[in-house]
Amino acid sequence: MPIGLYILASVIKSAIVLLVLLTAVAYTVWLERKVVGHMQNRWGPTRVGPFGLLQPAADGLKFLFKEDLTPPHVYKPLFLAAPLIAVVFALTSIAVIPFGNDIEIGGYTIPLQITTDVNTGVLLILGVTSIGVYGVALAGWSSNNKYSLLGGLRASAQMVSYEISLGLSLVGVLIMAGSFSLRDIVHAQQGHFWGFIPNWNIFHGQIIGFFCYLMAAYAETNRIPFDLPEAETELVAGYHTEYSAMKFAMFFMAEYANMITVGCLATLMFLGGWNGPLFGPPVLQAILPVFWFVAKVFCFLFLYIWVRGTLPRFRYDQLMAFGWKFLLPVALANLIATAIGVAW
């Protein structure tokens, strides 16, 4: 492909993916409010647009026009940089995620991902998302507020602790696929075994790995039952107590963007990626892989919301004990068992 056409295709894909991701972030908030509302026997948003569908737009306008207050006691350079760090690295990791098979346009092959296939895609996602902890930690420290500082310290300890289990939960999949490439991992999950069960890793020896990934993902994204960094009953709002207007919104954008990234990675590593039944004319068969990918990510996000509406918050000592004394040994045992099974 000529370099000019390659750059044009990359710019178009970047714009489309960014638009879809930001729209998905906004409507994941709406989905959470509606689903948790129905779980708790209430309506959720209903006033702005049909079924409250315009509520994300109303919230966005409110954040844009709300007065942005910066307390006088903060360390201003890092106070302003923290939300930018959080949201930029949350959005960046989506660049290496493939969401479908390559397509042919005008005789050229266009991969359905922003970058070309990166052989170390898994490591790149883990590395980029782990930098996001700096945004939370710096927000807590630069606020010069004891509650914010406690929230930042909790987030740092929590993310560092659960990143180990998160990484180990993925190693079993890497051993089975024999590659760090996300496309190779998806291709390794094609077909069925026993004639009808999809050859997805969650059904094919990695159910424990998926459990470890799921628990570590909840902790990494600061979600209930592991939302200790922003425990309102103890810390007012944790690391973002002193933030308002768009800076406050950036932390929420980063949280929900990280949820979508975690869902995409879970789909690729454990749920077969875009593999699914193909039927109908060629145009439909080209679209269906993207549909299956999006549907699986949606199911993962629904599971996130379901857990939020079901479980209470852990105590902090329970959080750390669960990570170090239970989840880490289970992830290590799954890794050793997978290695022995593949070698056998």
120-166 pLDDT tens trace: 778 888 888 888 888 888 888 888 888 888 888 888 888 888 888 88
Residue-wise pLDDT for 210-236, tens only, equals: 999 999 988 888 887 887 777 767 777
Question: Largest Cα–Cα distance of the chain, in whole Å?
Answer: 66
* pLDDT for the residue numbered 332: 92
Q: pTM of this prediction?
A: 0.89
Q: Alpha carbon of 32 to those of 20, 103, 234: distances in Å?
A: 18, 33, 23
Residue 181, Cβ density class (10 Å: 0-12 exposed, 13-18 middle, ≥19 buried): buried
Residues in the chain with pLDDT values less than 70:
1, 232
Give burial (CB, 10 Å; 0-12/13-18/19+) of 39: middle
Name every residue whose Cβ is closer than 8 Å to that of residue 311 and which is 6 or more positions away in sequence: 224, 225
Scanning the structure block, which residue is given the tokens 């989840």? 327
CB-based burial label for 176 (10 Å; 0-12, 13-18, 19+): buried
DSSP letter at 309 equals T
Q: Is 89 helix (H, G, I), strand (E, B) or coil?
A: helix
What are residue 197's DSSP bridge partners? 193
Q: How far apart are CA 206 and CA 184, in angstroms?
A: 17
Q: Vertex 216, ends 155 and 90: CA angle to 5°? A: 60
In tens, the pLDDT along 244-264 reads 888 888 888 888 888 898 899
Q: Among 145, 189, 159, which residue's Cα sits nearest to residue 254? A: 159
Q: Distance between alpha carbon 330 and the CA centroid of its chain, in Å?
A: 22
Domain positions in the chain? 74-343
